[in-house]
Amino acid sequence: MISAILAVVGFAVLLYPTAASWTHQYHQASIIDTFHEEVKHAEPSGVEQFRQARRYNDALTSGARLAPNANIPLSDVKETESALGLWDYEDILNLYNTGIMGRVLVPKADVDVPIYHGTSENTLLKGAGHLQGTSLPVGGAGTRAVITAHRGLAEATMFTHLDKIEVGDDFSLNIFEEVLAYRVIEVQVVEPEDSEAIKPVEGKDLVTLVTCTPLGINTQRILVTGERIYPTPAKDEAAAKGPSNLPHFPWFAIVYAVVFISGMTIAGHSLLTIIAIKKGNQNPAHRP
């Protein structure tokens, strides 16, 4: 009986990462659904936010300086524009101050997560983060947006399977309901300090997805770089504007239910057997 109960408990412990990851994906899917609904009423409008984001990118790609420790672009714009918050990174593509600018979908790696501003630890526990100081992910020649997320968390999948991506695979972004599709042209493993690997390339519209490797050691970085596909494929447009297809059906719950019922059945049968034996010992048969 005790063995059966311990087996059920042990199996539950083994299933915890899967169950926690499923729950996290479910929560992210809910956030994505809310994003799609609220972005329709965004103020400023998506069109205006895209205009601001492209001006931000123009400043970066035209050699604007970056403020120390802040990665906020500085250029020779008029004071009036500066006063209007032209370079306020946190205010551009920020839906109702939630920090969400869109979603990134990588079908082959089971990725469909919200994209937030910045890469703080708190941000990366919620979803993917846009690396401040790189191009905002609104497309355009000579831009490279960098999006990063955790890998190998016990309670979330995020970019865990990014190492499955190969040259020729596709991924897409939905930024304020504008869908941008990318085809992978390069997969690299680099040292964390290798900033040359994420610099823009003249004339190319790039997005690089970044996560840690080797799994659990995290001493290097996987860089998956995609180049913009024109026009955006209809299937990518539909997927990026529709509800998330994650998490997948929780088969683990059915497996656990079977194990739990089996374990409890064995434990119950063992308990009844023990009770029957004890009763037999208390009422011995009369000897002749």
pLDDT in tens, 170-186: 999 999 999 999 999 99
CA 121 to chain CA mean position, Å: 13
Q: What is the mean pLDDT of the chain?
A: 80
At 68, the pLDDT band (50, 70, 90 cuts) reads very low
Tokens of 217: 């050691």
150 is catalytic: yes
Indicate whether 194 pLDDT > 80: yes
Distance CA 145, CA 61 (A): 12
What pLDDT shows up at residue 264? Answer: 61
Among 50-64, 176-190, 212-226, whose mean pLDDT is lowest? 50-64
What pLDDT shows up at residue 156? Answer: 84
Percent of the chain with pLDDT over 90: 47
**How many alpha carbons fall within 13 Å on the CB side of residue 156?**
19
Coil vs helix vs strand at 223: strand
Indicate whether 257 pLDDT > 90: no
Distance CA 50, CA 38 (A): 16
pLDDT in tens, 18-51: 666 667 778 888 999 998 899 988 888 888 899 9
Out of 212, 248, 269, 286, which one is annotated catalytic? 212
Distance CA 143, CA 204 (A): 7
What pLDDT shows up at residue 41? Answer: 86
Q: Where are the domains of the chain?
A: 2-241
221, 192 contact by CB (below 8 A): yes
Query: Which residue's structure tokens are 């790609």?
Result: 61
212 is catalytic: yes
138 vs 79, which has greater pLDDT? Answer: 138
Percent of the chain with pLDDT over 70: 69
Q: What angle do CA 228, 231, 234 make, to 5 degrees?
A: 110
Counted residue by residue, the chain has a size of 288
135, 143 contact by CB (below 8 A): yes
The whole-number average pLDDT for the span 278-283 is 66
Coil vs helix vs strand at 275: helix
Distance CA 138, CA 180 (A): 8
Among 19-28, 174-183, 202-211, 218-227, whose mean pLDDT is lowest? 19-28
Indicate whether 70 pLDDT > 60: no
Distance CA 132, CA 60 (A): 11
- Smallest CA-to-CA distance from 188 within 197, 180, 179 is with 197
The whole-number average pLDDT for the span 78-106 is 75
Tokens of 35: 């994003």
What pLDDT shows up at residue 193? Answer: 83
148, 157 contact by CB (below 8 A): no
Distances in Å between the Cα of 279 and the Cα atoms of 2, 269, 270, 274, 285 are 21, 15, 14, 9, 11
At 207, the pLDDT band (50, 70, 90 cuts) reads very high
116, 123 contact by CB (below 8 A): yes
Distance CA 144, CA 202 (A): 10
Tokens of 83: 């006063």
Crossing angle of helices 2-38 and 251-282, rounded to 10°: 150
Residues 6+ apart with CB under 8 A from 277: none
At 77, the pLDDT band (50, 70, 90 cuts) reads very low
> What pTM did the predictor assign?
0.77
192 vs 70, which has greater pLDDT? Answer: 192
Out of 117, 130, 150, 286, which one is annotated catalytic? 150
Write down the CATH superfamily of domain 2-241.
Sortase (2.40.260.10)
208, 147 contact by CB (below 8 A): yes
What pLDDT shows up at residue 280? Answer: 67
